Chain A
Amino acid sequence: MSVYLDHAATTPMLPAAIAAYTTALSLVGNPSSIHSQGQNAKRMLEEARERVAESLGCDPIEIVFTSGGTEAVNLAVKGLYWARNAGGTHPRILVPRGEHHATIDTVEWLERHAGAVIEWVPIDELGRVRLNALARLLEEHDDVALVTLLWANNEVGTVQPVAEVAALAARHGVPVHSDAISAYRHVSIDFAATNLAALSVSAHKIGGPQGIGALVLNRSAVVVPLIHGGGQQRDVRSGTQDVPAAISFGVAAQHPVSSFAPLRDRLIAGVRTAVPSAVLRGDPDSVARLDNNVHFTFPGCEGDSLLFLLDSAGVSVSTGSACRAGIPEASHVLLGMGLSEVDARGALRVTVGHSTTDADIDTFLEALPQAVARASRAGLSDRDVTLRPVGVGVSGIDA
């Protein structure tokens, strides 16, 4: 029986979301069709949109369904940039360090291909954006296209001061996008109250299906679309909408929120007892940290060794950092927080969700000390190896 503690990567679909999804799969009707089947599909789609809107404190018309979180982030960042910088007047994008790769890769693409100037805003040792640095940049530059930032860091769980950032930017008339994919349903989000231009979410992080997300796009926000053809969804995101996925997303969005903080805090305390040398990363404050996130670094250990050993023991966790085709690299979030590359490599992210039990946590905490002991023996991958002595006259058995 394997224990799943990687809910930040994706969390199991809620039974109600599965039921709604599978039922909807047998319906026929394109929501853009005029006949009654089309109207029925459209009705169900719009009900789903209303449910998602309600969970985010926005108007239904502000919900643009996308293929997932990454598309939502791309649409927000590129779309706002292209619209704001139409005449080449606003090429600057302000981005904190430690953002998700959906954002980093997007702004770097704009830098390479569309003349964007990126200002990387420093983060503190807990992973929180330095507001004074952001304020200074907004003061210094009148050519800022947008500010984009995570609502909460997906690796270390630190909740960002989104409202303060939005208020600061509003004073300069600069639109703000927030990637709330990891924060959605873990912190309270009231879009209407935040002064944001756009906000990205994804269904599969909250118990809905993979393959659908949404960009919340303020009525007044102007974005240039990524995808053309058909003019669906405010002309912003063309293409036939995925009705069954939207329905399932809507059900997941309405599922009552419960706090995972007790499980998280049990895990944090348990890790500290089991492995006293482990260092908690991200904000230790209960409310300034995502309620499902536990993130430690284990000195002298390689995260991928720990992951392998725990997987062998039947526990699924994450190193937290981005992988390109599974190729591990030191977390840019931890590096941005000031950790050395060596320290950053020993990272493990453990995230809980609606299916997590106390027994899961027991299993993890039982397996952890041995895994850390072994991984510590194996050390870091760039260390010198002793198996083959280097030098002159390397001998065999009896030479």
Chain B
Amino acid sequence: MKILAAMSGGVDSAVAAARAVEAGHEVVGVHLALSRMPGTLRTGARGCCTIEDSMDAQRAANIIGIPYYVWDFSERFKLDVVDDFIAEYSAGRTPNPCMRCNERIKFAALLEKALDLGFDAVATGHYASIRTDDDGNRELHRAADWAKDQSYVLGVLTAEQLAHSMFPLGATPSKAEVRAEAAERGFSVATKPDSHDICFIPDGDTRGWLADRVGAEAGVILERDGSVVGSHDGAAAFTVGQRKGLHLGVPSPDGRPRFVLEVRPSSNTVVVGPKEALDLAVVAGSKYSWAGRAPADPHTEFACHVQIRAHADPVPAVAVLRDGELVIRPDMPLNGVAPGQTAVLYLGTRVLGQCTIDRTVSAVALPVS
């Protein structure tokens, strides 16, 4: 097959590209330019988007012996990922920009361009596996190494996208093996640090970056019963589940710490309460998708596991499609989930689908005061 290897300049995508070549495919390396004004040198824990990263990717492509190009997706990235990130936070939600990038850039804008230009699939360095079931349907599964598993951030991929995706690292027992393989292949990036931070926030200071863009106005912090317990410099800077940085003037009646339960940008208020009030009995979302084959009857409750963060533990749950909404009821309450987060459903190792959480039901009723 003719494969486009998306190369960020990191170790994973370099090894993935090399493996695609060894599997007998015709491979071309492409680095995505996601910023019109990239930094020159890598800083902190960011693993992409500087000129140095682009050069790292090119050097790996040179060693593999494949052609290498840089394609500009900066406009699309700004609209679909950066602006979306700001808009979501402004609306009091907590988005995952990496998922958004997978959904709209890597496996959409890039994949579609690749298909139009004559490629059969896009290969990336994600830790996840694609399998084909007995009927020939493509399935997305967790990577062999659960510690590195990235199937969560790929949960947005649909059957059509999975049909044209390739994850050569999925079966690798551990990241250490990928690094060893990179060193053996002579890649300069073999020891390059993993990236953790959001790639478009240069110094990793998400809150400061957002404050500059969302606009911050002072407001009040409320208890669930409406009593004012403090003030803040801008509601959008808060995340559900947050405990630190509240600076509450009024101690809680029981003396226990309080957590952010809700952010209400429309009234510029933040609602706080005890930890157990973060427990959710139901999460639901009207924007959902199936990763390949959908359940036989999604309108009847089906058993699955739900995962609400990239590295959270999966929780047993039942889910159902009801009135255009994917409703997920975990067996035990989910803690600290913010609207905007993605709930990914699993059947064993297989990713079943996902929804963006836009409605939640607390497991704990408001105490009668």
A residues neighboring B (CB under 8 Å): 304-305, 307-309, 311-312, 323-329, 374-375, 377-379, 381-382, 385-388, 391-399
Instruction: Give the distance in Å from the alpha carbon of A386 to the alpha carbon of B112 in the complex.
Output: 8
Residues on the B chain within 8 Å of A378, using CB: 112-113, 116-117
Residues of A within 8 A of B69 (CB): 304, 307-308, 311, 326
- The contact size tier of chain B is 35 or more
A-B pairs, top 4 by smallest CB distance, nearest first, are: A396-B290, A382-B75, A399-B294, A378-B116
Bound Cα distance A127, B58 (Å): 34
Q: How far is the CB of A342 from chain B (nearest CB, A)?
A: 11
- How far in angstroms is the closest Cβ of chain A from B111? 6
Instruction: Using A304-B70, A392-B324 as known contacts, list a sample of 8 further A-B pairs with CB atoms less than 8 Å apart, ordered by residue number in A.
Output: A326-B69, A329-B72, A374-B118, A375-B117, A378-B117, A379-B116, A388-B104, A396-B294
Known: A304-B72, A387-B111. A394 touches B38 (CB 8 A): no
- Measured between beta carbons, the chain A residues less than 8 angstroms from B55 are 325
Which of B160, B286, B287 is in CB contact (< 8 Å) with A387? B160
| Most chain A beta-carbon contacts within 10 A, residue among B115, B137, B158, B293 | B158
Per the bound structure, the CA–CA distance linking A392 and B326 in Å amounts to 11
6 pairs from A and B in contact (CB 8 Å cutoff): A326-B70, A374-B118, A382-B79, A396-B292, A396-B353, A398-B293
Instruction: Please give, as numbers and ranges, the residues of chain A lying within 8 Å of B31 by CB-CB distance.
Output: 326
- B361 in contact (CB, < 8 A): no
* CB pair A391 B116 closer than 8 Å: no
Knowing A326-B54, A328-B33, A396-B353, say if A381 contacts B113 (CB, 8 Å): yes
- Set of chain A residues within 8 Å of B160, measured between Cβ atoms: 387-388
Contact among A308, A311, A327, A396 with B293 in the assembled complex (CB-CB below 8 Å): A396
Q: Which residue of A lies closest to B111 (CB)?
A: A387
Q: From residue A81, how far is it (CB to closest CB) to chain B in Å? A: 26
How far does the Cβ of A290 sit from chain B's closest Cβ, in whole Å?
Answer: 27
Chain A residues within an 8 Å CB radius of B58:
326
Complex: A309 Cα to B4 Cα, angstroms: 13
Q: Tell me if B158 and A396 are in contact (CB < 8 A).
A: yes
Q: Which residues of B contact A (CB under 8 A)?
A: 28, 31, 33, 36, 38, 51, 54-55, 58, 67, 69-73, 75-76, 79, 103-104, 107-109, 111-113, 115-118, 137, 158-161, 286-295, 298, 321, 324, 353
Would A395 and B109 be within 8 Å (CB), given that A327-B38, A379-B116, A382-B79 are in contact?
no
Contact of A328 with B75 in the complex, beta carbons under 8 Å: no
Q: Specify which of A324, A326, A374, A394 is in contact with B287 (CB 8 Å cutoff).
A: A394
Give the complex CA separation of A398 and B70 in angstroms: 37
A290 to B33, CA, bound (A): 32
Tell which of A304, A305, A325, A379 touches B54, judged by Cβ atoms closer than 8 Å: A325
B36 touches A329 (CB 8 A): yes
Residue among A391, A392, A394 with the highest chain B CB neighbour number at 10 A: A394
- Chain B interface main SS type: mixed
CB distance from A156 to the nearest CB of B (A): 21
Contact for A396 among B38, B111, B291, CB less than 8 A: B291
Question: Is B70's CB under 8 angstroms from A328's CB?
Answer: yes
Do B117 and A385 touch across chains, with their CB atoms under 8 A apart? no
Q: In the bound complex, what is the Cα–Cα distance between A324 and B291 (angstroms)?
A: 38
A305 — nearest CB in chain B belongs to which residue?
B117
Residue of B nearest to A374 (CB): B117
Known: A328-B70, A374-B117, A387-B111. A382 touches B76 (CB 8 A): yes
Determine whether the beta carbon of B289 is less than 8 Å from that of A394: yes
Q: Tally of A-B residue pairs with Cβ under 8 A?
A: 122
Name the contact of A385 in the complex, choosing from B36, B38, B108, B288 (C-beta under 8 A): B108
- Is B108 within 8 A of A395, CB to CB? no
CA–CA, A209 to B160, complex, Å?
Answer: 51
Q: Is the CB of A392 within 8 A of B287?
A: yes
Distance from B136 Cβ to chain A, minimum over Cβ atoms (Å) = 11
Structural contact, A311 and B54, CB atoms closer than 8 A: no
The answer to whether B54 and A397 touch across the interface, beta carbons within 8 angstroms, is no
In the complex where A309-B117, A325-B38 touch, is A396 in contact with B109 (Cβ < 8 A)?
Answer: no
Residues of A within 8 A of B115 (CB): 387
Of B51, B71, B104, B294, the residue contacting A398 (CB under 8 A) is: B294
Cβ–Cβ contact B288 & A394, under 8 A: yes
Q: Across the interface, which residues of B come within 8 angstroms of A385, CB to CB?
A: 104, 108-109, 112
Q: Is the CB of B117 within 8 A of A395?
A: no
B113 touches A395 (CB 8 A): no
Bound-state CA distance A304–B110 (Å) is 13
- The CA of A382 and the CA of B54, in the complex, are separated in Å by 20
Q: How distant is the Cα of A340 from the Cα of B158 in the complex, in angstroms?
A: 35
Whole-angstrom distance between the alpha carbons of A340 and B263 in the complex? 42
**How far apart are the CA atoms of A304 and B73 in the complex, in Å?**
11
Q: Which residue of B lies closest to A382 (CB)?
A: B75
User: Given A324-B51, A395-B294, A397-B293, does the pair A388, B161 have CB atoms closer than 8 Å?
Assistant: yes
**A151 CA / B17 CA spacing, docked (Å):** 44
How close is B66's CB to chain A, nearest CB, in angstroms?
12
Contact indicator A397/B159 (Cβ below 8 Å): yes
User: Which A residues are CB-close (under 8 A) to B75?
Assistant: 381-382
Of A308, A325, A328, A374, most B-chain CB atoms within 10 Å: A325
Interface centre among B38, B113, B115, B290 (most CB of A within 10 A): B113
Closest-by-CB residue of A relative to B352 is: A396
**Smallest Cβ-Cβ distance to B113: which chain A residue:** A378
Which residues of A have CB within 8 Å of B36? 327, 329
Residues of A within 8 A of B324 (CB): 392-393
A123–B58 Cα distance when bound, in Å, is 37
Q: Which A residues are CB-close (under 8 A) to B73?
A: 381-382
Bound form: Cα–Cα A334–B305 in Å: 55
The reply to whether B116 and A377 form a contact with Cβ atoms under 8 Å apart is yes
Nearest Cβ in chain A — how far from B359, in angstroms?
Answer: 13
Q: In the assembly, what is the distance between CA of A386 and CA of B290, in Å?
A: 17
B112: min CB distance to chain A, Å: 5
Looking at the assembled complex, report how far the CB atom of A390 sits from the nearest CB atom of chain B, in whole angstroms: 9
From known contacts A385-B109, A391-B287, infer whether A324 and B292 are also in contact, taking CB-CB under 8 Å: no
Given contacts A325-B51, A394-B158, contact A381 B104 (CB under 8 A): no
Q: Provide the residues of chain B in CB contact with A311, threshold 8 Å.
A: 67, 69
Given contacts A381-B71, A381-B76, contact A397 B137 (CB under 8 A): yes
Query: In the complex the two chains form, what is the Cα distance from A94 to B33 in whole Å?
Result: 33
Would you call A325 and B293 a contact (CB within 8 A)?
A: no
CA distance A165 to B96 in the complex (A): 56
Residues of chain B within 8 A of A326, CB atoms compared: 31, 54, 58, 69-70
- How many angstroms between the C-alpha atoms of A384 and B200 in the bound complex? 21
Nearest residue (CB) in A for B54 is A325
A388 pairs with B51, CB closer than 8 A: no
A398 to B295, CA, bound (A): 9
User: Which listed residue, B79, B111, B288, touches A393 by the CB 8 Å rule?
Assistant: B288
B33–A327 touching, CB < 8 Å: yes
CB distance from A378 to the nearest CB of B (A): 4
What chain B residues lie within 8 Å of A377 (beta carbons)? Answer: 116
Q: How far is the CA of A323 from the CA of B58 in the complex (A)?
A: 15
